Amino acid sequence: MFESSETVTTDRRQLRRESTRSEILDEAWALCRDVGLAGLSMRELAKRVGLRAPSLYSYFDSKDAIYDAMFRQGYEQLRDHMGDYMGPQPVTRERLKEGVRHYVEFCVADTTRYQLLFQRTIPGFEPSAESYAVAVLALEDSSRALSAAGIEGDAALDMWTGLLSGLTAQQISNDPGGERWIRLLDDAIDMFLDHYGALPRKKGSRK
Amino acid sequence: MFESSETVTTDRRQLRRESTRSEILDEAWALCRDVGLAGLSMRELAKRVGLRAPSLYSYFDSKDAIYDAMFRQGYEQLRDHMGDYMGPQPVTRERLKEGVRHYVEFCVADTTRYQLLFQRTIPGFEPSAESYAVAVLALEDSSRALSAAGIEGDAALDMWTGLLSGLTAQQISNDPGGERWIRLLDDAIDMFLDHYGALPRKKGSRK
DNA sequence: TGACAAAACCGAACAGTGTTCGGATAATCG
DNA sequence: CGATTATCCGAACACTGTTCGGTTTTGTCA
């Protein structure tokens, strides 16, 4: 069976459409890294992809829709980045630390992306339901890893997210490019696990 | 000696100036609470104080200067709020917890103010050197209280700020008006103090 | 190939923003 | 009162996101 000519047409057009769509997104990331997340301008973005501002509106409904697509893309990148660290390996203290280090590495690697994914810094922007679902999916992985470590209960999980997001945020906003808070991560995880009595240390491994 | 008439005049004028200046600031706070911190509009703000936008520029150099004055005001409020809790009283676990609760209370009492003081949510805004000095002054108090508890060293202090700012931020952005992370505060402080071996608990007071 | 339909693109405009400038108004002084 | 000075505002500039109508390009069909 041959595809109907109409379908072929649609495919070609659609291919081209999605091509420039992703080109717009790539350029949006680059522009945001240049001028800051909030400095994204439709006219400037259009200029960089060889268009005028109104043309962007046939690819995205609004500027917030661009942020939304970037948001979704960012969380997909996070999922990819963490992929290997979320397997069914035996959860040990060291593996947990590795996972957290890997996660924070992702966060500090691109502060613009971090702002978009984890902070509410764009005035009117809120992710759409679909994009938010991707975010929840990516974050559920980490909570699953935690419960695999024998840590259960909302309180412990809230403490975990509060502690780690706090250290990460301090790192990014108060010592970007450095590792003043990053080097506290291992210690923080020990503190946390000791407190909740999970994954006991081997004898004599205190301090 | 009588003051020269010129001085009297200047006083009168200056009094009136500072009066409307603080009226502008009050209305700016109110407006921000209505439309969000980033939604502050010079024309709307002017309308609320019975002026037109250009007139505001004889009281503040720019919109950011208004944010700056608010920033400073906010940290002065923090200082006032914490005043009593920073005295030379003996530092106990319970007093430390009280102080932290009091601090977080201040944060969640006005999320607009919290955004301005602790998060970098306004695109171009950075506090001036003078206002930043007020902020440092207010935050130094807490670090002094911590060292009074026998906790020394940059690492411990960074861990402290990371932990508490993390819990506070989660509270405000993920459960505004609730106390999901607030009720973890006492436990978090116990966790922290135990880990650093400060202010030991009384015997048998574990859990 | 040429005609036709649809998609892509853009110029102009609208309403909004922060900000500046020159002149009008009001308050204070000698 | 007249003169001075502080206060205030209308108009404008450059920018923003966004919409509309019409032009240009593209792809498909007879």
Domain spans of chain B, in order of start: 1-61, 63-207
pLDDT under 50 in chain A at which residues? 1-8, 207
Percent of chain B having pLDDT more than 70?
A: 92
Rounded to whole angstroms, the maximal C-alpha distance in chain B is 73
pLDDT reported for residue B165 = 98
Just give the CATH number of A1-61.
1.10.10.60
pLDDT reported for residue B92 = 92
pLDDT reported for residue A87 = 67
Residue A2, CB, strand D, below 7 Å:
no
Q: Report the predicted TM-score, pTM, of the whole model to 2 decimal places.
A: 0.92
Which long-range contacts link A141-144 to residues 24+ away (Cβ below 8 Å)? Answer: A141/A79, A141/A82, A141/A86, A142/A82, A142/A86, A142/A99, A142/A103, A144/A86
Mean pLDDT estimate for chain B: 91
Integer angstrom CA distances of residue A25 from A18, A43, A146, A150, B23: 10, 14, 34, 41, 44
pLDDT reported for residue A89 = 75
Question: Does the beta-carbon distance from A162 to B167 stay under 8 Å?
Answer: yes
pLDDT reported for residue A205 = 61
Chain B positions in Cβ-Cβ contact with residue A180 (cut-off 8 Å)? 154, 158
Contact B75, B81 (CB under 8 A): no
List chain D nucleotides near protein: any atom < 7 Å from a Cβ. 6-11, 15-21, 27-29
Span A86-142, pLDDT tens digits: 766 778 999 999 999 999 999 999 999 999 999 989 999 999 999 999 999 988 888
pLDDT reported for residue B37 = 97
Alpha carbon B187 to chain centroid, angstroms: 24
Enumerate chain B positions whose Cβ falls within 8 A of a Cβ in A: 36, 38-39, 119-121, 123, 154-155, 158-159, 161-167, 169-170, 173, 180-181, 184, 187-188, 190-192, 194-195
Q: Which CATH number fits domain A63-207: 1.10.10.60, 1.10.3470.10, 1.10.357.10, 1.10.20.140?
A: 1.10.357.10
pLDDT reported for residue B201 = 84
Size of interface A-B (CB pairs under 8 A): 95
Q: How far apart are CA B119 and CA B73, in angstroms?
A: 16
Which 49-108 residues of chain B approach strand D with CB closer than 7 Å? 50-55, 58
pLDDT under 70 in chain B at which residues? 1-10, 87-88, 203-207
Measure CB to CB from residue A166 to each of B38, B119, B167 and give the nearest one: B167
pLDDT reported for residue B87 = 67
Residue B57, CB, strand C, below 7 Å:
yes
